[in-house]
Amino acid sequence: MSVSETDRAWGPMPDVARRDELATLRETMLRLSASLDLTRTLETVLDGLTALVPCAIASIYLDGIVPDALVRVAQRARDDMTTLAATQPRPLDGSVTGWAYRHRQSLLLPDLGGDARTLRGPEAPPPGLSSIVVPLLVGDRAVGTFIASRRGSGAFTRHDLAIAESFAPLAAQAVANARLHVETERAKTQTEAILQDLGDAIVRVDPEGVTIGWNQGAERLYGYTAAEAIGTRMPVVPPEDQPALMAMNRRVMAGESIVNVEAVRIHKDGHRIAVLTSLSPWRERGVITGTLAVVKDISDRKALERELTEQIAAGQRRVRDKAYVGAVAQACNSAADGPAILQALADLTAQWADDARVVTIEGERATLAAYASRTPGEDAAIRDTTIAMYATVSAAPRMIDGVRRLHAPMIEKIAEAPDSPQHAATMARGYHTKAFIPIRAEGRVVGVLGAGARAETPPFDAQAIATLELVAEQAGLAITKERLLRQVRAQVAQLEEANRHKDDFLASLSHELRTPLNAILGFSELIEDGIIAEPEELREVAHDIVISGRLLLDQVNGLLDMARVGSGRMEFTREAVDVRAIAQQCERVIAPLVSAKEQRLTFTFPPDLPPVVADGARLHQVLLNLLTNAHKFTPEGGGITVVGSVAAARVTITVRDTGIGIAPEYSPIIFEPFRRVETGYARSQGGTGLGLALSRRLIELMGGTLTLESAPGKGSAFTITLPTR
């Protein structure tokens, strides 16, 4: 703050006082800028505040610690004022500190205890205490407040308030910076802990290449403890590789990331380790402060590469092919999933040849499932253009499509292939031949195994093609096995579901058959024992026995009908049937039941409705079943309508009710045998779960359809459609 700004803020004052206050501000600013420690920053703010505005007690309150409150984080008090020290958080509503924070306004309070905004209760201030309360603002955002108090009413002047307000922005920014530093350090500590837990080796170095981070993965990989490695120039790097590593470190410090660099490192015991390293910038508070290296041990892969290379150099082609096929067979017979097996197939083929890709085919669509190269770094452009090609094309590429159509291997000479980004990258790397082998499963081409040869690797001859075909056959068997396993799991799930439905059906059927049978037996025993002997009582009991017998007969007939339909032995009489007459017959049967529940039943048919070609008895059975269901699942006082219409030589009969309706998730299953909606009101209505399944099958056998429209609480509409000729 300039002297002129101070004059405008504080007003005229003696030159000596002004100089002292400016000196105090400069000294405080220097101290605040010298440290990001939060505790030290708060103490420095209190030093500056009490020097600029002498007071008996001064406190700093900050937000973000307790919801909807400010918490005191620092305080300075004379010995005679310690009893006034506040300990509890200050609510944003109900305290002067909260008011100043909420409204972003300072307060000059001649009598703190007499102000209506002052906190009440055990920590309320005594009378006769003057206070200044100033919000700590960073821009337009409040982060807290500070409060200074003296004994005596009106002990502070507006000049004191102006000094405190001028000091507040400096204090607020310093406190905000210190709190940000605390959060940054906490995040850094958490990041360090995460890096420690990663399985890969994680190493951090500074711009000079000195190790500053070494996790447990690095200890396992290299044998050096963190204490041994930190502070050194990477003892695991061979001397001849140090210049190249420092060059990469400089590139990373400039903001570049370097991925998948193969290198050799030295273990503590002296043996050499093949590694794959990725380097990226390490940033702290947005500034690059070092390099983060993620290192993977690829010794096993490199060992396999060396083994295959040595076999090729020694001319042991047959042994090499046998090892290749054996490794593929082992991978295909492993417990890995399909994608992992295909990637292993590509990896092994790339070591046998020079690069490889596995493409899966479904219909006209070809998908790149795996790509691998014996030299992944050098072949990165081929990998990228191959991935890009399969990501952008909708149909199979030329050679893949040829293999799919011919069911036979194809050889492509790179020099004669059409121009493309992939072709250019392949030519640049010296590839001369590619082979494409069909992968067959269940008599179909379900994929293609591609292999590339370059430089000194000879072109693919008949023996090489035979070896690749043998490998592709192994892959086809693995794919077939996985598909069969998926089918078996699905069938087992279906059988378990069917078994559960069977159990549910048997339990329901037992109940449905037992109810009328118990009635028949019970009434018969009453008659046999002579308990019921009066003619009138005998007639009533006989009537109940007849009703129970008919119910039992209907249920048995339903089971028999379902069995006949399932075996194809259901006999039909195809004749012209008057739909209105069938509807009238069903109305006479269902009317007493509808009246008992005070339901409304209406039939609407046009006078010119033509007859349908159907079995009249079976149509009567289906329509009566739909009406019975509508009656059962419609509460008392509801409505049931039956509407007929004709269009395009087909008659439709819609049975609509105002009942409970059917949720969308249950609509597909209600037409399945033995399935019922087991929820709420529907559960209480009983039934075997055969009616709708049998009704739909009967209508379909008569050349028609039975469909449903329904929603919970809005009723259901079952529509029969039958031909008129």
**What is the DSSP track for 225-258?**
-HHHHTTSS-TTS-GGGHHHHHHHHHHHHTT--E
For the record, the structure tokens of 130 come out as 């003057």
More confident: 428 or 18: 428
Confidence (pLDDT) at 301: 84
Please report which confidence band the pLDDT of residue 705 belongs to, taking 50, 70 and 90 as the band edges.
very high
% of the chain surpassing 90 pLDDT: 31
Please, what sign has the CA dihedral across residues 541, 547, 548, 553? positive
User: Any idea what the Cα angle at residue 114 is, between residues 112 and 120, rounded to 5°?
Assistant: 85
Average pLDDT score over the chain: 82
Strand pairing class (211-214; 201-205) = antiparallel
Query: What tens digit of pLDDT does each residue of 233-282 get?
Result: 877 999 898 889 889 999 999 999 998 899 999 999 999 999 999 999 98
Residue keyed to tokens 């082979």? 435
* Topology annotation, domain 3-185: Beta-Lactamase (3.30.450)
Q: CA 231 from chain center: how many Å?
A: 42
Confidence (pLDDT) at 60: 93
Confidence (pLDDT) at 65: 86
Q: CA 369 from chain center: how many Å?
A: 23
Euclidean distance between CA atoms 16 and 25, whole angstroms: 14
Euclidean distance between CA atoms 196 and 218, whole angstroms: 9
The yes-or-no answer to whether 198-297 and 571-723 have a common fold is: no
CATH number corresponding to 315-466: 3.30.450.40
pTM summary value: 0.35
Please report which confidence band the pLDDT of residue 667 belongs to, taking 50, 70 and 90 as the band edges.
confident
For the record, the structure tokens of 121 come out as 């209760």
Confidence (pLDDT) at 493: 72
Does pLDDT of 120 surpass 80? no
Domain with residues 198-297, CATH architecture: 2-Layer Sandwich (3.30)
Phi, psi for residue 656 in degrees, rounded to 5? -120, 135
Tally of CB atoms within 10 A around 273:
19
Query: What tens digit of pLDDT does each residue of 150-207 get?
Result: 988 888 999 999 999 989 999 999 898 888 888 777 766 655 555 555 568 889 999 9
Query: What tens digit of pLDDT does each residue of 554-604 get?
Result: 666 666 665 666 656 677 788 999 999 999 988 888 888 888 889 999 999
Helix (H) or strand (E) holding 449: strand 444-454
* Arithmetic mean of pLDDT, 216-245: 89
* Arithmetic mean of pLDDT, 3-8: 39
Task: Give the CATH superfamily of 571-723.
Answer: Histidine kinase-like ATPase, C-terminal domain (3.30.565.10)
Domain residue limits, the chain? 3-185, 198-297, 315-466, 571-723
In 3D space, the residue among 683, 644, 643, 642 whose CA is nearest the CA of residue 660 turns out to be: 683
E-strand ranges in 374-443 read 410-413, 431-441
Tally of CB atoms within 10 A around 48:
21
Euclidean distance between CA atoms 212 and 231, whole angstroms: 6
